Amino acid sequence: MVEPDVVVVPAGDALLGDPPRTEHVNVFAIARRPVRVGEYAVFVDETHQYPPLEWEQKRRAADLALDGVSWADAVAYCRWLTVGTGRIYRLPDEREWEKAARMQGTLEELGALREWTNSWQDGGRVLRSGATPAVRVFVEGDLARVGFRIVRGMTGR
């Protein structure tokens, strides 16, 4: 089990949202890039988790960002990584995701995927994408180009 390459984002106020507002965000460490197919394959093999659609095709490209994964499966991956490493891994909330996305040189591959967050809004889970991201709410259906990156908790949550 390989832990992700993370960058620590210091605690502090950040200008977030549209219209912009100042919000305090606690310290956290976020993965520089989304979870890869190869990383997820270890999880699928060890847990016998049901893989995303077209898994055999995806599995051939181990270093590509995983897509087609549900929010529940992303959470299950975080739980598996937490148990295996003894560190707390989870999905970022949308404030954490946006703060990291707005910091230059922090996150790689922004905009390549819509990424799960642990936030809920307007009847669905919030997806984020792009360098200055708009909020997208996932209600049901299409998981194409939906992936995730993870946060390593640093405050005990």
What is the structure's pLDDT at 16?
A: 87
Q: Which residues pair with 23 in a beta bridge?
A: 14
User: How would you list the strands of the sheet with 114-121, edge to edge?
Assistant: 134-138, 124-129, 114-121, 146-147
Residue for token digits 């259906």?
A: 141
High-pLDDT (> 90) share of the chain, %: 64
Q: How far is CA 129 from the centre of its chain?
A: 10
pLDDT at 74 over 90: yes
Mean pLDDT lowest among 40-49, 117-126, 136-145: 136-145
d(CA 89, CA 79): 7
DSSP code of 64? S
d(CA 7, CA 28): 8
Say if CB 133 and CB 120 are below 8 A apart: no
For residue 135, what pLDDT band results from cuts at 50, 70 and 90?
low
Chain mean pLDDT for the chain? 90
Q: Bigger pLDDT: 131 or 152?
A: 152
Say if CB 100 and CB 91 are below 8 A apart: no
What is the structure's pLDDT at 132?
A: 56
Q: Bigger pLDDT: 144 or 83?
A: 83
Encode pLDDT of 5-61 as tens digits: 999 999 999 988 878 899 999 999 999 999 999 999 999 999 999 999 999 999 999
Both tokens of 34, joined, read: 């989304």
Amino acid at 3: E
What is the structure's pLDDT at 144?
A: 84
Encode pLDDT of 21-35 as tens digits: 999 999 999 999 999
What is the structure's pLDDT at 10?
A: 94
**Long-range CB pairs of 104-107, under 8 A, 24+ apart, other chains included:** 106/7, 106/9, 106/30, 106/32, 107/30, 107/32, 107/33, 107/149
Instruction: Kindly give the interhelix angle for 71-85 and 37-47, rounded to the nearest 10 degrees.
Output: 80
Q: Which residues pair with 126 in a beta bridge?
A: 137
Both tokens of 81, joined, read: 């990584």
Quick one: CA dihedral 108, 111, 112, 117, positive or negative? positive
Domain 6-152 indexed as CATH 1.10.3720.10:
no
The domains of the chain are located at 6-152
